[in-house]
Amino acid sequence: MKTLLTAACATALLAAACNAAPDRAQAQGASGAPVETRAPNGKDQAPAFAGQTRAPEVKAGVDYQVTDHVTGLVKPWGLAFTPDGGLLITEKPGRLRLFKDGRLSEPVAGVPAVDARDQGGLQGIALDPQFARNGLVYLHYVEPPKDGKNNGAVARGRLVTTGGTPRLEDVRVIYRQTPSLASTKHYGGRLVFGRDGTLFVTGGERSVLEGRMQAQRMDGTLGKVVRINTDGSIPKDNPFVGRAGARPEIFSIGHRNILGAALHPRTGELWEVEHGARGGDELNIVRKGRDYGWPTITYGIEYAGGPVGEGITRKDGMEQPIYYWDPVLAPGDMAFYEAAQVPAWKGSLFVTGMGPRYLSRLTLDGDKVVGEERLLVEVKERLRPIAVGPDGALYIGVDSDAGRIIRVAPK
């Protein structure tokens, strides 16, 4: 089934957007008024700097269409394109599927058992930088509980597609979140390889009070971004290696629940989007050894109402998000666009939304967000994983029991 979604723009603007340089094309669609019109939850909170929230609406003027690319899925969570034209898809209940040559495989054998309750399951996926040679696939998932407690973990295995049903061989766990807690929420779960071949693992603080406090502690990895080698060993240049009482895999601290992450294609830095409570969804640039504040500082308020902690939004020694949403976007994933196929999108950052259910396209000026455009509002379903395909189209997972991967490309 094919659904056509047309952005509201004039023909002249579309022509300009498709032929001009990216920055100029995006600026031509600026209205000046913020795209967000709802009242914030943090009514008495002010941004730390101009442009930190409620960016003006900036339309790229791309007339696009949406088609179903893969159907028959259940809650797709992660996407990874293989060099030979395949697409690996993780499904929350614990299945890994390969879509290739128009066919969806049976579940890949050898995937570890998962705890799929609530926010758990099979989550992020990444291919080894040498995948074409070694076939290694990395999976983030939630391990089944022991003594009522569970944790996120990363396993790697070699993908074999010959001889019938695809399978993972030589599977082994290379990382586990610590400590294990009795909670079914806030695992994080994205995997991103750095340019140097090390693996970033995004985490959550498990939502419960004990886990929330862990986000600022150094003796555990909850509420952290960690950085490991492909075999699970610790890079020698991690910021807390050799520090007494600190886990050496920690790269940054003070995160709530990071569900989207990607390397900036020009700088190579890790960017992430994480969930706040009622308001306070953040876009951050993850830098070595930095503290991103949770739960000491945050925008937004508690789900039950009232301030988070002391209700402060800034403190010396803690990083400010480069952008935040209040009310929330409920980000599911993110992807930078650098493909040549859609010039007006080049340089944009796309963030999927699971709350208001739209795709946010952010216009960037260096490290600053200077515009926002909402796309796919007609889909009206939760959008989670996103990837830019080899053909320059956007591929996005619809997060439902009748899940699918949609393809978004110019008409």
Please tell me the distance from the alpha carbon of residue 320 to that of residue 293, in angstroms, as a whole number.
8
Q: Which of the residues 140, 186, 255, 275 is marked catalytic?
A: 186
- Burial class of 264 by CB neighbour count within 10 A (0 to 12, 13 to 18, 19+): middle
List beta partners, residue 292: none
**Core vs surface per residue 280-305: b (16+ CB within 10 A) or e:** bbbbbbbeeebbbbbbbbbbbbeeee
Q: Any residues with CB less than 8 A from the CB of 361 and at least 6 apart, and which? A: 60, 345, 348, 349, 350, 372, 373, 374, 375
Task: Note if 186 is an active site residue.
Answer: yes
- The answer to whether the Cα torsion of 315, 243, 188, 88 is positive or negative is positive
Strand order in the sheet with 191-193: 191-193, 199-202, 225-228, 250-252
Counting other chains too, the contacts that 99-106 makes at CB distance below 8 Å and 24 or more residues apart are 99/69, 99/70, 99/405, 104/70, 104/72, 104/73, 105/165, 105/166, 106/165, 106/166
Contact present, 409 and 64 (Cβ < 8 Å): yes
Strand order in the sheet with 167-176: 122-127, 136-142, 152-160, 167-176
> Active-site residues: which are they?
186
